[in-house]
C-alpha cells in the first residue's frame, strides 16, 4: 500500500507547478566527501552487533535517537555490513528514484519473506519482477479497481449489519481485519472468508511475528526444529487456504470461472505454463492475500482509533458523508467527492504507516548520496515514519490534523510523505487499498460513532512487519440514530 494515486507524493498531488516553501527548497549541492569516508554514526565496538541488538528491541525509537544525535544520514558498522539510515526526504527520493537501478532489496529480508511468499512480485528482482508486475498491473490499475467498488461495498454492508447497535468494548481491530480479509478474498477468489477466518487471522499474526524476529538473525533455523511448531502450523493454515482455492477453481469448467484475480492468473498459467507454473500462481495469490488485507486492516485499525480519539474530526467526516451520499451506498463516482474521508486516511497513514520502515536496499554499484561516495554493497534503510513525523516538515507532527492535506501551501518537500514507498517499487496495490479503505470508512461513519472507552490509554504501536497496536484495539461503538 503506498500513495493513493501514483509514486508522486499525494501531499502535493493537487499542487502541480506550485513552488516549495523556502524552508523546503533543496539545499545546495553538498561538498563531495573523500572516497572511503562514511557519515557519522554511533560507535560500533568490535562487531557492531550491539547496535543490532538495540534495534531488535525497539527499532523505531532507536532510529529516532540516532537521527537526533547524528543527523539525516547515519552510518552503522554492523560486521560485515555498512548500513546508512536515510531520513532526508530529498535524499530518499534521490535514492529510490534516481538510483533505483543501482539497488536491490536486502537479501536476508527477501529470504525471510520468501518462506511464505515464494518468488512473487513482492520478492522477485530484475526481469522476473518486471514480468510479474506487468502481468498484474491491469488488475490493480485505477480503472480495474473502480469496477470492484460494488463488491467492496457489499462486503462492508454484510459485515456492518452483524455489528452490535452498541458495545462499550467492541474488538474493532479484529472486526476490521475480518472485513479486510473478506474484501481481498472476494477480489482474489470471488468468495468471502470461511469459517476458518479467525484461525487464518491468527496464522497471519504468527507468521508476521516470526518474520520480524528472523530479520535480526543472519540465518534461519529450519522450520522442523521443535521451537518453531507454531510457525509450522501457521504456514500450513495459509498454504492450505491458497491450495484449496486453486484446486476448487481448477475443478470447475473454465466457462464457469468468475472474473477475479485467480482466474486471470490461471489463464496466464494455461497460456504459458513455463513462465507461469502453478507455483507462480500460488505465490502471487499468497502475496495478494497477505499484503492485500494485512496493511489495509492495520491502517483501518489506526484510523478507527484516530476517529475515536478526535471526535471533532469524526463529526466533520460524518457531515461530509451525509452531504455527499444522502444515505446512499457509495459508488466509484462518489469517491472524488469524499475528499475529507481521504484526508483522514492520509493523516492516519502519516502517523501510523503500515510499513514504517521500507525494506532495506543494497547498492550493487557505487553511488553518491548527500556528498558521500558510497561503495557497492552499502545497505540503505529508509524509516518512513520518522520523516512523516518530523517537525521540520509537519507542524505539530504528532497531532491528528487531516486538514493539513488540504493546505494550498506547506513546508514539506516531496518524499516527506511516502507511506507506501516510492519509485518503481511503489506499492502495486495502492489504488485498491485507498479505494477499499475509503469505501469502508465512509460506510462505517454512515452507521456508527466510535469513542474511546473510559480509562483507556493511548495504544502503543508494535512493529511486526506491519504496525499494529501492542494490544488488540477495542473501542466504544454506537449505532447512529439516522443513517
| pLDDT, position 482 | 63
| pLDDT, position 87 | 95
Q: 257 Cβ partners below 8 Å, 6+ apart?
A: 249, 263, 266
**Cell numbers describing residue 331:** 459508488
Alpha-carbon distance of 383 to 64, in angstroms, equals: 9
| Backbone φ and ψ of 356, nearest 5° | -70, -15
Alpha-carbon distance of 183 to 180, in angstroms, equals: 5
Q: What is the pLDDT along the chain (483 residues), one digit of tens a residue?
A: 333 333 333 333 333 333 333 334 445 678 888 888 999 999 998 988 899 889 888 889 999 999 999 999 999 999 999 999 999 999 999 999 999 999 998 888 888 888 889 999 988 988 999 999 999 999 999 988 999 999 999 999 999 999 999 999 999 999 999 999 999 999 999 987 766 677 888 888 888 888 777 876 777 778 888 888 888 898 998 999 999 999 999 999 999 999 999 999 999 999 999 999 999 999 999 999 988 888 999 999 999 999 999 999 999 999 999 999 999 999 999 999 999 999 999 999 999 999 899 889 999 999 999 999 999 999 999 999 999 999 999 999 999 999 999 875 456 788 899 998 888 888 888 999 999 999 999 999 999 999 999 999 999 998 877 899 999 999 999 999 765
| pLDDT, position 415 | 86
| pLDDT, position 213 | 78
Kindly list the structural domains of the chain, giving each domain's residue range(s) and its CATH number in brackets, ordered by start: 10-479 (1.10.630.10)
Cell 468468475 locates to 258
| pLDDT, position 109 | 84
How many CB atoms neighbour CB 403 within 10 A?
12
| pLDDT, position 195 | 64
Element (H, E) at 55: helix 49-57
Q: What is the number of alpha carbons within 13 Å of residue 131 lying toward its C-beta?
A: 13
Q: 318 Cβ partners below 8 Å, 6+ apart?
A: 445, 446, 449, 480
| Backbone φ and ψ of 85, nearest 5° | -90, 125
Q: Is 427 annotated as a binding residue?
A: yes
| pLDDT, position 2 | 33
| pLDDT, position 463 | 84
Residue 346: asked if its preceding bond is cis (omega within 30°), the reply is no
* Residue 150: strand, helix, or coil: helix
**Cell numbers describing residue 166:** 452498541
* Residue 176: strand, helix, or coil: helix
What's the DSSP call for residue 483?
A: -
Cell 554492523 locates to 78
Element (H, E) at 68: helix 59-70
Element (H, E) at 463: strand 461-464
Q: How far is CA 306 from CA 6, 219, 447, 460, in A?
A: 25, 39, 17, 13
| pLDDT, position 220 | 78
| pLDDT, position 28 | 62
Compute the radius of gyration of the chain from its Cα atoms.
22
Decide if 220 contacts 115 (C-beta within 8 A). Answer: yes
| pLDDT, position 156 | 96
| pLDDT, position 25 | 44
**Cell numbers describing residue 271:** 497460456
Amino acid at each position: 500500500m503506498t500513495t493513493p494515486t501514483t509514486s508522486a507524493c499525494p501531499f502535493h498531488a493537487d499542487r502541480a507547478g506550485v513552488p516549495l516553501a523556502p524552508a523546503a527548497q533543496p539545499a545546495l549541492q553538498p561538498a563531495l566527501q573523500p572516497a572511503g569516508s562514511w557519515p557519522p554514526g554511533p560507535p560500533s565496538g568490535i562487531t557492531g552487533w550491539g547496535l543490532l541488538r538495540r534495534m531488535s528491541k525497539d527499532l523505531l525509537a532507536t532510529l529516532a535517537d540516532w537521527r537526533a544525535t547524528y543527523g539525516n544520514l547515519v552510518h552503522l558498522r554492523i560486521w560485515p555490513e555498512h548500513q546508512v539510515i536515510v531520513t532526508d526526504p530529498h535524499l530518499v527520493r534521490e535514492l529510490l528514484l534516481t538510483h533505483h537501478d543501482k539497488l536491490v532489496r536486502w537479501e536476508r529480508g527477501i529470504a525471510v519473506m520468501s518462506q511464505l511468499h515464494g518468488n512473487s512480485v513482492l520478492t522477485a528482482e530484475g526481469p522476473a519482477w518486471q514480468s510479474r508486475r506487468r502481468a498484474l498491473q491491469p488488475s490493480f490499475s485505477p480503472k480495474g479497481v473502480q469496477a470492484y467498488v460494488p463488491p467492496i461495498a457489499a462486503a462492508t454492508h454484510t459485515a456492518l449489519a452483524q455489528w452490535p447497535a452498541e458495545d462499550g468494548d467492541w474488538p474493532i481491530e479484529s472486526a476490521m481485519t475480518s472485513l479486510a480479509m473478506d474484501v481481498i478474498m472476494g477480489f482474489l477468489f470471488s468468495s468471502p472468508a470461511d469459517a476458518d477466518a479467525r484461525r487464518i487471522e491468527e496464522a497471519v499474526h504468527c507468521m508476521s511475528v516470526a518474520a520480524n524476529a528472523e530479520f535480526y538473525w543472519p540465518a534461519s533455523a529450519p522450520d522442523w526444529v521443535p521451537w518453531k511448531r507454531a510457525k509450522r502450523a501457521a504456514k500450513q493454515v495459509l498454504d492450505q487456504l491458497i491450495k484449496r482455492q486453486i484446486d476448487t477453481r481448477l475443478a470447475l469448467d473454465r466457462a464457469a470461472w468468475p472474473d477475479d484475480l485467480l482466474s486471470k492468473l490461471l489463464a496466464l498459467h494455461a497460456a504459458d505454463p513455463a513462465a507461469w507454473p502453478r507455483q507462480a500462481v500460488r505465490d502471487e495469490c499468497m502475496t495478494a492475500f497477505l499484503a492485500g488485507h494485512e496493511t489495509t486492516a492495520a491502517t483501518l485499525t489506526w484510523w478507527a482509533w484516530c476517529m475515536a480519539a478526535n471526535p471533532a474530526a469524526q463529526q466533520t467526516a460524518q457531515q461530509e458523508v451525509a452531504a455527499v451520499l444522502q444515505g446512499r451506498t457509495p459508488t466509484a463516482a462518489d469517491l472524488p467527492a469524499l475528499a475529507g474521508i481521504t484526508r483522514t486516511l492520509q493523516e492516519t497513514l502519516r502517523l501510523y504507516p503500515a510499513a514504517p520502515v521500507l525494506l532495506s536496499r543494497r547498492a550493487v554499484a557505487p553511488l553518491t548520496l548527500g556528498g558521500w561516495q558510497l561503495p557497492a554493497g552499502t545497505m540503505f534503510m529508509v524509516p518512513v515514519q520518522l520523516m512523516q513525523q518530523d517537525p521540520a516538515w509537519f507542524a505539530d507532527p504528532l497531532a491528528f490534523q487531516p486538514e493539513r492535506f488540504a493546505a494550498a501551501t506547506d513546508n514539506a518537500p516531496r518524499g516527506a510523505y511516502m507511506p507506501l514507498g516510492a519509485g518503481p517499487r511503489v506499492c502495486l496495490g495502492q489504488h485498491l487499498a485507498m479505494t477499499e479503505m475509503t469505501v469502508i470508512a465512509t460506510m462505517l461513519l454512515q452507521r456508527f460513532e466510535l469513542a474511546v472507552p473510559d480509562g483507556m490509554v493511548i495504544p502503543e504501536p508494535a512493529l511486526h512487519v506491519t504496525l499494529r497496536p501492542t494490544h488488540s484495539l477495542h473501542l466504544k461503538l454506537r449505532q447512529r440514530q439516522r443513517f
